[in-house]
């Protein structure tokens, strides 16, 4: 498993670099397989990326061949300001010509377990997965929490131990709320996992994940895929001691 690290000067440059990688991955996937399956992440970090894709790449990509999935979702309706779907819809989906059937959102408005089972069914049928097979997503966007979480797999939560399911409901006591999330294992056959991390508050978690420092740096360090790349800014990289691009 190849790991790459790119350190950008700031959040804007990080979003630019991520948009270019997203576009390149999409063009390669469409050229080779006729479609591009991308998993979007939640939280604040990817919003600048979604805005860029919805603006500068609006007419550059063949969105009709792009299928969007989510790595995780809060258990809220799709029009909630908490919704990861809403964040991507506002910045990207509402601005591009993508067929509604290409949007595979997690139905946060359903009870958590029902939403998880429905989303797993959708992934399995989309990729025609047999039992024990994993989805070959072309690109998975991932965030990094200051506590080393990613997706909605937080340290000490049940989702960490889920080895069978692709998608699980996960109660996060730290937040006092339910989430629906891909499991870490569901990512293993993905062609590329792309972490985005910016800001001082991620510096210690990033150091721990990349250096494998004890204590175990949590879920993000467990992520495996055919390729894992990290796009970070200088603040997040402050404790790594490496030069920025
Ligand atoms: C979520 C995300 C979560 C996020 C990290 C980083 O639903 O919040 O899936 O894993 O990526 O918490 O969040 P920020 O980008 O807001 O720092």
Domain ranges within the chain, ordered by starting residue? 2-233
Of 18-32, 74-88, 217-231, minimum mean pLDDT range: 217-231
* Residues 235 and 198: beta-carbon distance below 8 Å: yes
Pick from 139, 181, 174, 176: nearest CA to 23: 139
pLDDT at 60: 95
User: Probe ligand 1: pick from 39, 41, 203, max atoms within 8 Å of CB?
Assistant: 41
197 CA → ligand 1 middle, Å: 9
- Tens-place pLDDT, residues 141-197: 999 999 999 999 999 999 999 999 999 999 999 999 999 999 999 999 999 999 999
Secondary structure (DSSP) of 146-175: TTS-BTTB-TTSGGGG--S-SEEEEEETTT
Q: Please, are residues 112 and 169 in contact by the beta-carbon 8 Å criterion? A: yes
Strand 177-182 versus strand 72-74 pairing type: antiparallel
* 9-68 tens-digit pLDDT: 999 999 999 999 999 999 999 999 999 999 999 999 999 999 999 999 999 999 999 999
The response to whether residue 41 sits with its C-beta less than 6 Å from ligand 1 reads yes
What is the distance in A from the centroid of ligand 1 to the CA of 42?
5
pLDDT tens digits for range 112-144: 999 999 999 999 999 999 999 999 999 999 999
Query: Whole-angstrom Cα distance, residue 98 to residue 91?
Result: 13
What's the CA gap between 184 and 212, in Å, rounded?
Answer: 17
**DSSP states along 223-237:** ---SEEEEEEETTTT
Q: Could you tell me the distance, in angstroms and rounded to a whole number, from the CA of residue 68 to the centre of ligand 1? A: 18
Answer yes or no: are the C-beta atoms of 93 and 82 closer than 8 Å. no
The enclosing H or E element of 107 equals none
- pTM for this structure? 0.96
The pLDDT value recorded for residue 212 is 73
Domain 2-233 matching CATH 3.30.9.100: the answer reads no
């Amino acid at each position: 498993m190849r790991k790459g690290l790119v350190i950008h000067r700031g959040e804007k440059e990080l979003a630019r670099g991520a948009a270019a990688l997203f576009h390149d991955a999409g063009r390669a996937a469409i050229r080779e397989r006729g479609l591009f399956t991308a998993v979007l992440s939640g939280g604040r970090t990817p919003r600048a990326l979604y805005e860029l894709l919805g603006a500068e790449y609006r007419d550059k990509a063949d969105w009709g061949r792009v299928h969007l999935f989510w790595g995780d979702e809060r258990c809220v309706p799709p029009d909630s300001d908490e919704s990861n779907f809403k964040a991507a819809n506002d910045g990207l989906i509402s601005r591009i010509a993508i067929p509604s059937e290409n949007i595979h959102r997690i139905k946060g408005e359903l009870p958590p377990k029902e939403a998880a089972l429905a989303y797993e069914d959708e992934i399995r049928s989309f990729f025609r997965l047999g039992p024990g097979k994993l989805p070959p997503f072309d690109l998975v966007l991932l965030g990094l929490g200051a506590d080393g979480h990613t997706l909605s797999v937080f340290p000490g939560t049940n989702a960490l131990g889920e080895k069978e399911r692709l998608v699980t409901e996960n109660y996060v006591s730290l937040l006092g709320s339910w989430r629906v999330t891909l499991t870490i294992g569901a990512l293993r056959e993905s062609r590329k996992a792309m972490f985005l991390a910016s800001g001082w508050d991620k510096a210690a978690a990033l150091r721990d994940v990349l250096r494998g420092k004890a204590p175990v740096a949590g879920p993000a360090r467990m992520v495996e895929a055919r390729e894992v790349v990290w796009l970070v800014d200088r603040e997040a990289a402050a404790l790594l001691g490496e030069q920025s691009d």
